[in-house]
Chains A and B, each alone.
Chain A
Amino acid sequence: MSKKKKLVVQNVEVTFILNGKKVTKQIRPSLLLIDFIRDELSLAGTKPGCLEGECGACSVLIDGAAVNSCMYLAINIHGKNLTTIEGLSDVNGLDPVQDSMIKHGAVQCGFCSSGMTMSIKSMQIKYKKDKKKPSKEEIKKGLEGNLCRCTGYVKIIEAAEAVINKVK
């Protein structure tokens, strides 16, 4: 064994908005956002499905846009607005996206549901900003990065369409 050099890595301070509240934390520069969220912020609703950027279970909102938290370095959250599934609902109740997911029967095992919800939320924000109504095909496209084995996606697409386009 070669002599081990102890590499001292300095923690970095990040300040950001977490689910509506300003937070400051010291973190390792190599820390992935998903581990930061799950292990250090103890928010377990963000799910590790693959940790390879392929399944979308770990999706969170950064400044309103869905991002795979397993492909994102936690230090880059500095100065940004982070929303996890726990931040969508509050004491007053569920976010309309969550409500739509439940009502449309879009939740089976639920492991993909946090990520799906975040992707739908992100679409909802985007299309609202652009004052556009997405087509069904566009909604499907927007969900392509989120895998689900239980539902066959149909109910998820319906839930998304209903809440984004406010149709029944």
Chain B
Amino acid sequence: MSKKLNVIGTPIPKIDAGIRITGKAVYGQDVKLPGMLHGAILRAEYPCAEFTIDVSAARKLPGVIAVITADDIDCNNISYKKDHPILKKGEVNCIRDEIAAVAAESKEIAERAIKLIKVKYKEKKGIYDPFDALKPNAPLVNKYLKDSKFAKNISDIFFYEHGNLEEQKKKSAVIISKRFVLPRVTHCCMATSNITADYSSVTKRLTLYSSTQVPFLYQRDMAHALKMNASDIRVIQVVIGGGFGSKLDMYPFEPIAAILSIKTGKPVQIIFDREEEFIASPTRQNMVIDLIAGADKNGKFTFRDVTIVKDNGAFTSWGATTPFVMMQTFSSLYQMPACRFESKAVYTNNISAGSFRGYGNPQAAFAIESCIDLMADKLGMDKAEIRLLNANYAGEITGQGMHYDTCGHIEALKTVIEKSDLRNTNKETLRNTNKYESTNKEKETVNTDSYIRKNPYFVDNVDRYKRGVGIASMMHVGGGAKIYRSDGCGTTLKLDDYGHLTLITGSSEIGQGSETVLAMMASEELTIPMNKIKVINTDTDVKPWDVGVHASRTSFVAGNSVLGAVKKLKEKLNQKAAVLLKCTIENLIYENEEIKNSDGSNSVRIEKVVREMHFGGQNELCTVNHFYEPTSDFQDKQFKGNVSGTYAFAAQSAEVEVDTYTGNIKVLNIHVAQDVGKVLNPLNIMGQIEGGVLTGVGYGISEELIMENGRVLNPNFHNYKMLTASDVPDIHFYPIETNDSLGPYGAKGMAEAPLIPTAAAIANAVADAIGVRIYSLPITPEKVLKAIKEKTD
């Protein structure tokens, strides 16, 4: 890209930060409508039971306006597989099952009414292990799944293969076969789930104040659930207090609020409390991965044979499609001659899993990268060398048919290898200081040893504290992912008579900064300053269609959509400007809100051009519409094809220190080298990197939603260990700019990537430090101590 950029690439703070930092942003928790009622939901007391219900006492409580059970509604089932009844009738299949709901004049009354509902349960033996659910004599967990082509208790199967597995096995000098166990973790959005539904019995239209990430799919899903016309449903997105994939599906509480509003004719609001959020909002897919992987005597990878069993929970969400993404990683992260991949999503009476930033790839990375280290050990090879030897490269077409037109994998690996001093780590002696180049280009000296030195038992500490370094890579779609019939995004631009631009985008802001980046693109092209650009992106009645926030697609897809719209807007402006400037339409220059003729001798303000268009003889407004659909393909039945417009690559290295007395892991440094195509906004991108990495560290060492017999044992922040400011390692970011020809200014999607390889790198670092490997996440102190003990015994 030869053009000099003035806005793109500069660290512009988020344009919506001001309202968020002053308490003025309206989150779902802050919506207040006249006459609004408060809804509450009664959930199951047992994870697997038959029940009868009596709501008469609740109905009589003063202040209660409506009480509903399955008998009171006529709705379609919801969810990705339409296997999820909104309210359950006669039997419950997991602890979050909704069996009744109340709308009342206050939260307190609604909660009291819930307590007055009498339920008699007949408990049944549930299935909490997906392997048990696969046994022939297992009872059927979900009886709502229709027309399934799979065996009992299987919600979904993905099967994929390329290459000749048997031949590659014969070529292999080393074959590693291991089982990896991945935990259930949850999003911990700081704002709990919320919805305010407002049905008008006059217009027969429903307005939803929602935190959805996918407003147009949500509108369609809601319409299907309620048997309404989708156009009669208006989705207004409130300011969203965290998404991370959790809001990719519609959950029962949302149609429940709508039904209560329809029944009462009043707005109804449902807000989860934190415990309810832990129990009844989605989780990352927990799973067991059996990976057999081989390499020849030179360390060239030969094959991967992958079998995955995922705990689907009682119902199926979009998250069931995570294998679609995981198979891309297994088949195509590092050059891979042959791959066989099979995954089953299995129903159990556990809470159901959803989708979560990274979409299966943190799990895949953990298995793959652990195996690579094991192979290197067996072959006596260097861990960096084996990765570089097999790294993906630009121009590669993978076995799955993905085209890596640009690819920063090798550079990413080289960068983290160099920065983390992988080869020279002296694990026995403490280094005095580690100097690292930080991304904001200032030199930073990090003295990670000071706290050890202050320790009075210092002399012992050399033995006590073991350091290790680990690396891991990732590949993730970087230009959307064609999984829905359209993966596009619409933009409407409106230039007003004063030269201010209104940018109406189909995409959604969930805190990631898309609003700012899109405005920056328009500002760059039109030279209109940022403070004269308004972004409208929250109302399905106003904004054009977009598939939603997922697959790290917004900068790429919505960005390209904005650029397409700007092009059309300029064509319009140019025609008028050429007349006003009495020059030809070619080579007009945009500068400082002016349009200039090609030699710069004559100019006119953009706003003047708009006014001439509007009030001059032409009487036209300066508005345009554009819809951008990525050039990616649908994959065929065998899942082959170029599924994304482009692909993002990254490598991370983790440096950890393990306290062999307590088992505690301190993550000291994470080096992130990521092919982002092009840095659009360095401030924003760092925020995404740091946030992603820390969530990845949590996945690696501390977070797990613990379940026992279908119940969540730690539904609070006290026992669910989200990391705090004190746990933050030094995060070093090295952007790699490969300038993708399809990306806006060369950019690729980047926001999911930073959390994908982190846990895998930490696991490798821990193995490096203590000399034993742990095959399940999170790597807790208990697991570390047990592993050390087993090694010494």
Task: Name A's B-contacting residues (CB within 8 A).
Answer: 43-52, 54-55, 57, 84-86, 88-89, 94, 98, 101-105, 107-114, 117, 137, 139-141, 143-157
Contacts and interface: CB of A to CB of B under 8 A. Distances in A.
Contact of B693 (A46, A51, A148, A152): A152
Interface stretch (B307-315, B561-569, B621-629, B725-733): B725-733
Contacts of A150: 190, 242, 511, 687, 691
Nearest to A101: B21
Interface stretch (B161-169, B536-544, B715-723): B715-723
Q: Which of A105, A110, A145, A157 has the most CB of B within 10 A?
A: A110
A149 B190 contact: yes
B242 A113 contact: no
Given A52-B716, A102-B17, A110 B274 contact: no
B771 interface: no
A99 B315 CA distance: 45
A86 B21 CA distance: 9
**Which size bracket describes the interface of B in this complex?**
35 or more
Contacts of A86: 22-23
Contact of A152 (B20, B21, B189, B694): B694
B691 A108 contact: yes
Contact of B23 (A85, A105, A146): A85
Nearest to A100: B21
Contacts of B14: 102, 105, 107-108
Contacts of B718: 52, 54
A46 B23 contact: yes
Contacts of B686: 105, 154-155
Contact of B17 (A51, A52, A107, A140): A107
Which 7 pairs between the two chains have the least Cβ-Cβ distance?
A45-B23, A110-B20, A109-B511, A111-B241, A152-B694, A152-B690, A54-B717
20 contacts: A44-B23, A45-B23, A48-B192, A52-B716, A55-B274, A84-B23, A85-B21, A105-B14, A105-B17, A105-B687, A107-B14, A114-B23, A140-B726, A141-B725, A146-B725, A152-B695, A153-B724, A153-B725, A154-B686, A154-B728
Interface in B235-254: 239-244
Given A102-B13, A102-B14, 11 more contacts: A44-B29, A86-B23, A101-B21, A105-B13, A105-B686, A114-B23, A140-B725, A147-B190, A147-B722, A154-B731, A155-B687
A152 B29 contact: no
Contacts of B728: 140, 152-154, 157
Contact of A111 (B242, B274, B513, B689): B242
Contact of B188 (A51, A149, A153): A149
Nearest to B719: A54
A145 B455 CA distance: 25
A44 B274 contact: no
Interface of B: 11, 13-14, 16-18, 20-27, 29-30, 187-192, 239-244, 273-274, 510-513, 683-684, 686-687, 689-695, 716-718, 722, 724-726, 728, 731
A109 B274 contact: no
Contact of A55 (B510, B684, B695, B717): B717
B22 A151 contact: no
A55 B190 contact: yes
Nearest to A103: B13
A14 B239 CA distance: 33
A151 B190 CA distance: 12
Contacts of A51: 273-274
B705 to A, nearest CB: 15
Contacts of A101: 17, 21
Nearest to A45: B23
B695 A110 contact: no
Question: Does more than half of chain A's interface fall in helix, strand or loop, or is it mixed?
Answer: loop
A52 B345 CA distance: 35
A44 B30 contact: yes
Contacts of A139: 725
Contact of B190 (A112, A144, A156): A112
A59 to B, nearest CB: 12
Nearest to A42: B32
B309 to A, nearest CB: 29
Given A109-B242, A110-B21, A110-B241, A48 B725 contact: no
B726 A151 contact: no
Given A152-B691, A157-B728, A102 B242 contact: no
Contact of A149 (B691, B693, B726): B691
Contacts of A55: 190, 274, 717
Contact of B691 (A43, A50, A113, A151): A151
Contact of A50 (B23, B683, B692, B717): B717
Q: Which of B30, B243, B689, B690 has the most CB of A within 10 A?
A: B690
B161 to A, nearest CB: 38
A151 B690 contact: yes
Contacts of A117: 21
Given A102-B18, A151-B687, A155-B687, A108 B512 contact: yes
Contacts of A104: 683
Contacts of A57: 190
Contacts of A155: 686-687, 690
Given A110-B21, A149-B244, A54 B29 contact: no
Nearest to B19: A110
B191 A108 contact: no
B25 A110 contact: yes
B517 to A, nearest CB: 13
Nearest to B687: A105
A108 B683 CA distance: 11
B187 to A, nearest CB: 7
Nearest to B688: A108
Nearest to A144: B724
Contacts of A52: 274, 716-718
A108 B695 CA distance: 15
Nearest to A139: B725
B726 A141 contact: yes
